[in-house]
A = this chain, B = another copy of it.
Amino acid sequence: MALDTKTLILDAAEKLFATRGFYGVSMRQITIEAGVDPALANYHFGKKRNLFDAVMLRRAEVLNRERIQMLDDCLRRAKPNPPPLEEIIDAFTHALLNRSNKGGAGWKHYFAIIAQINNHPELGGVIMTQYFDPLAKKFMKAITRALPDAQPEDLYWCYHFLSGALTLTFSGTNRINNLSDGLCNASDLDAVHERLVPFITAGFSIFKSSVSQR
């Protein structure tokens, strides 16, 4: 069936892109992993880059819907005041960590791709911007409302730090496991989330007033 092979190819591409990056995988390897004729990847998706975009888009749509939903809920609850900063940060990260945790292997692979793309000089600016900037702008608007005396420039840098900390978590390297002699487990995303949100909130908070209290 048509839809079945499309998903087979998407899943295979997702898995291989996740472990070896865009350039590290060939169309042939993808179709072999999918158990499908080599020509079918081109037939269904066109060029390799288009296939990659399809992989990105499939789950980005789901994520963006969920994250905007959580932000809107959070804004509504606090009305007419701005919501507490920590709730905004949580709305930003919750769907990501939840999907990565309980969404199965496909989601894990997807987030590993995101981690690589976010740190890729050629693709990062283009692809992350394309799929996630509208959402990021919505969150930044909420954050600037929650910290009205902070300088926007400072807050954008904080967002940048958040983005980096978050995506490294998704990368799937287990460097932290070795480094901590097994104290930490990179796959335990609940443990991450529990610490990431207050960590980031504290970082943002030092810019609460425009004179930073270093």
Interface residues of A (CB under 8 A from B): 18-25, 86, 112, 115-116, 118-122, 124-125, 128-129, 133, 136-137, 140, 152-154, 156-169, 171-176, 178-180, 183-184, 186, 191-192, 195-196, 198-200, 202-207, 212, 214
Whether the pair A195, B158 counts as a contact (CB closer than 8 A) is: yes
10 contacts between A and B (CB under 8 A): A86-B214, A118-B173, A120-B173, A152-B180, A156-B179, A156-B183, A159-B176, A160-B168, A164-B168, A203-B203
Q: Determine the chain B residues whose CB is within 8 A of the CB of A160 once the complex forms.
A: 165, 168-169, 176, 184, 186, 192
Of B23, B119, B159, B204, which is within 8 A of A171 by CB? B119
Counting every copy of the chain, the complex holds 2
Please, how many angstroms separate the alpha-carbon atoms of A198 and B118 in the complex? Answer: 23
Residue in B closest to A155 when the chains form the complex, CB atoms: B180
Assembly CA distance A178 to B122 (angstroms): 15
Known: A23-B25, A164-B164. 11 other contacts (CB 8 A): A22-B24, A116-B116, A119-B173, A128-B175, A129-B179, A133-B179, A156-B176, A160-B176, A161-B195, A164-B169, A198-B206
B202–A206 contact, CB under 8 A?
A: yes
**A128-B173, A173-B121 as given contacts; A168 in contact with B163, CB under 8 Å:** yes
Nearest residue, chain B, Cβ from A170: B119
User: Hey, which chain B residues are within 8 Å of A24, CB to CB?
Assistant: 21-24
A133-B178, A160-B165, A205-B202 are known contacts. Are A121 and B195 too (CB-CB below 8 A)? no
What chain B residues lie within 8 Å of A116 (beta carbons)?
116, 119-120
The interface residues of chain B lying within 8 Å CB-to-CB of A198 are 206, 212, 214
Question: Which of chain B's residues have a CB closer than 8 A to the CB of A25?
Answer: 23
Identity of the chain B residue whose Cβ is nearest the Cβ of A206 in the assembled complex: B202
Q: How close is A200's CB to chain B, nearest CB, in angstroms?
A: 7
User: When the two chains form their complex, are residues A153 and B183 in contact, meaning their CB atoms are under 8 A apart?
Assistant: yes
Indicate the member of A169, A173, A200 with the most B CB atoms within 10 Å: A173
The residue on B at minimum CB distance from A154 is: B195
A19: B residues at CB distance < 8 A: 121-122
